[in-house]
Structure 1
Amino acid sequence: MLYMDRIRALELGVLEHGLIRQVEHAHTRCWVCVLSCLLLACVYVGSLYVWRSSLPRDHPSVIKRRCVSVLLVSALSPAAVKAWIHWADIRVDASVWELMGVRLEGFVPALILPLLLTMVFYLGPLVHSAMDNPNGFTMELQSALDVQSWRLSLGDVVWLRNQVVAPVTEELVFRGAMLPMLVPCAGPTAAIFMAPLFFGVAHFHHIKEQRRLQKDSMRVILLVAGMQFLYTTVFGAFTAFIFMRTGHIVGPVLCHSFCNSQGLPDIGSALQHPQRTALLFLYLMGALLFLVLLFPLTDPFFYGAIPVCSLAPAPAPVC
């Protein structure tokens, strides 16, 4: 009897020791995940300042240099994810590119449905633009199909930065690379709200730019930076949700590019418009339809198995 009690005590001790080691490993893994994301965000922002210049950020030479920097960081981000998999001792069947949302399965729905969802949200602003300038709206539609217009756009470095380079690099780094790092530690749902914090904080570097140019007081600069942090974080949560639900990076990139072209909805202008009742109704309808269609249009049924969800410690509704 005494012998059996000793065996049971030893078994319990081994089990307890194993559980403690698992908890310690999980705790270490979380630190590795968070620090990896922080390091990647710092490298992305830091790459913008490797070029010393007194020129403003919208100067063509500054834009070209910074585009080279962030494209290089983005190109290296798969290596960062690969290194994180090794350091965090992650076991996964999918490739690094699949985890980052670069895959073929479900590509066509991922190309169309998230962008359609975003355009639904902008129903009010789009109609507002058409009402204020019908010719301008028509010209925008024509330019979208005009080869010459695309050539002119591709020659505009500001357009390239805002519509191509920024969406591609920011989504690849802040969603494609960071979400796989955060999911094993926090789970898919928490990761959706954690990743945008790195994205929002990364935009604080504009304070240095504004302070150097001395265009506004520090109070105004901080207020603008706070507002920018707020809407970039909210937007980042949306594109992170799109990434987790579709398992593709192309949807977040296209949504990012579209939102950059549209800017924030100008509700203040709508309130002063002669047709404000109709416009406000469309603004409200766009927001309501967006909420109604949010889950149906991002249903994983359209996109196949989501590789990044295989990293989750437990099944989650968002996947």
Structure 2
Amino acid sequence: MAPVIFILPAWQATLLCLLFALFFVGSLYIWADSVNKNRDHVDTIKRRFVSMAVVCLIIPLLLWCFGIPTDNPEAHTLLDWMGIRFRGFLPSLILSLALTMVLFMGPLTLHYMDGVFSLYLDGRYWSNSLKSLIWIRNHIVAPFSEEFIFRACMLPILVPAFGTGWAVFVCPLFFGVAHVHHMIEMVTQGQQEVKAAFKQSCHLMAPVIAHAFCNHMGFPAFGEIWGYPKQQQHKLIASFVLGAILWIAMLYPVTSPFLYGNEIYDL
């Protein structure tokens, strides 16, 4: 694949990313009965799998159209820009998950005390999970498609336009806008009130593996802490606080481009 560079004004980069986000969300509702059926309905999930497959093919082609071919030997290919390369793969797979698990130290402690960890050692848990379309959506299809579109396909145009620092903050905004449709679904179908739906629609940005982990853990169940004896409550609160502190302390060292062999976005 020939090397390309991306040189777009900030306003054009913003509009293009907004187009990607609208295309992503719109593809979920092109089916005739998409509004009438719950998002967890088997038909809805299968059709949205098809939509995500099509979107993940078309958007990279649109991205390629905005790249400028170059003969510069130091330039990178589109796949390089999108982070699709083996170099740095293992560190990104392990460290991103480890960092996110540190942030979820409190909920993981709850899982341990509730005996949830024993499920992960049961082969039946994994075999049943792989038969569930909802599990596959939450742990495989959604993390991959969302990170692919909102990170891999947007950062190549956002970083040259805004710089690394601003792009880190701008990119999640498109992801947040795209997830408003979850809130709308839950409210219109009478599943939740507006306030509760809004809270559940807030997502933590992370690489695909960390994204899947976040989907699995869900929003931290702070209320469960008070169901334990006081001595255990103190330990649980300490684990929540310690996890947050360690995550902040580890964030920049663990996300250093050097660890992942990434010199493209180290601007």
TM-score bucket of the superposed structures, by smaller chain:
0.7 to 0.9
Q: Which consecutive residues of structure 1, in runs of 5 or more, have no partner in the other structure?
A: 1-25, 240-251, 310-314
Distance 1:215 1:119, change over 3 A: closer
1:200 touches 1:228 (CA, 8 Å); kept in 2?
Answer: no
- Deviations along 1:123-173, whole A, 9 cap, x unmatched? 1111112112x2x32122x13xx3x54332222100011000000000000
Which residue identity is paired with 2:252?
Answer: F
Q: Is the 8 A contact 1:154 1:160 kept in 2?
A: yes
In the comparison of the two structures, how many residue pairs are matched?
255
C-alpha contact 1:36 1:84 (8 A) present in aligned 2: no
Where does residue 278 of structure 1 map in the other structure?
A: 235
> SS of the residue aligned with 2:219?
coil
Q: Where does residue 160 of structure 2 map in the other structure?
A: 184
Q: Which residue of 2 aligns with 1:301?
A: 258
Tell me the percent identity.
Answer: 39
Cα distance in 1 between the residues matched to 2:50 and 2:216: 22
Alpha carbons 1:123, 1:286 under 8 Å: kept: yes
SS in 2 for 1:295: helix
Please name the residue that 1:157 is paired with.
133
Distance 1:296 1:210 in 2: 38
Aligned to 1:198: 174
Decide which of 3, 13, 19 is 1:39's aligned counterpart. 19
Distance 2:125 2:184 in 1: 35
Using the TM superposition, give the Cα deviation of residue 308 of structure 1 relative to its aligned residue in structure 2, in angstroms: 3.5
* Separation in structure 1 between the aligned mates of residue 12 and residue 96 of structure 2, nearest angstrom: 31
Q: What is the alpha-carbon distance in structure 2 between the residues aligned to residue 214 and residue 301 of structure 1?
A: 48
2: CA distance, partners of 1:125 / 1:215: 25
Q: Using the TM superposition, give the Cα deviation of residue 58 of structure 1 relative to its aligned residue in structure 2, in angstroms.
A: 0.6
Q: Which structure is larger by alpha-carbon Rg, 1 or 2?
A: 1
- C-alpha distance in structure 1 between counterparts of 2:187 and 2:257, whole Å: 45
Deviation at 1:206, TM superposition (A): 2.6
1:57–1:300 CA distance, 2 compared to 1 (3 A): same
Separation in structure 1 between the aligned mates of residue 52 and residue 246 of structure 2, nearest angstrom = 35
1:232-243, aligned counterparts within 5 Å? 232=203, 235-236=204-205, 239=206
Please report the TM-score for the alignment, with normalisation by the length of structure 1. 0.74
1:126 match: 108
> Equivalent residue of 2:84, what SS?
coil
Q: Counterpart of 1:36 in structure 2: which amino acid?
A: L
1:267 aligns with 2:202: no
Query: What is the RMSD of the two structures over their aligned residues, measured on CA atoms?
Result: 2.2
Q: C-alpha distance in 2, partners of 1:109/1:210? A: 37
Note the residue ranges of structure 2 that are not aligned, 5 or more in a row. 1-6
Structure-2 change in CA distance of 1:207 and 1:118 (3 Å): closer
Give the helix-richer structure, 1 or 2.
1
Give the AA of the match of 1:61: D
CA shift for structure 1 position 228 = 4.3
1:184–1:124 Cα change, 3 Å:
same
| Native 8 Å contact 2:183 2:198 kept in 1 | no
Q: Do 2:200 and 2:219's aligned partners in 1 also have CA atoms closer than 8 Å?
A: no
Matched, 1:52 2:28: no
Matching residue's letter, 1:209? E
Is the partner of 2:154 in helix, strand or coil?
helix
SS in structure 1 of the partner of residue 142 of structure 2: helix
Deviations 1:93-137 (A, max 9, x none): 1111111111111111111011011111111111112112x2x32
Tell me which amino acid in the other structure corresponds to 2:223.
G
Task: Return closer, same or farther for 1:292/1:212 CA change in 2, 3 Å cut-off.
Answer: closer
The 2-side partners of 1:208 and 1:41 are apart by: 16
Matched AA of 1:112 = I
Distance across 2 between alignment mates of 1:279 and 1:295: 26
Measured in 1, the distance between the counterparts of 2:17 and 2:111 equals: 39
1:73 matched to 2:48? The reply is no
Query: Which SS does the other structure have where 2:241 is aligned?
Result: helix
Q: Provide the C-alpha distance between the structure 2 equivalents of 1:266 and 1:153, rounded to a whole number of angstroms.
A: 22
Give TM-score, length-normalised by structure 2: 0.88
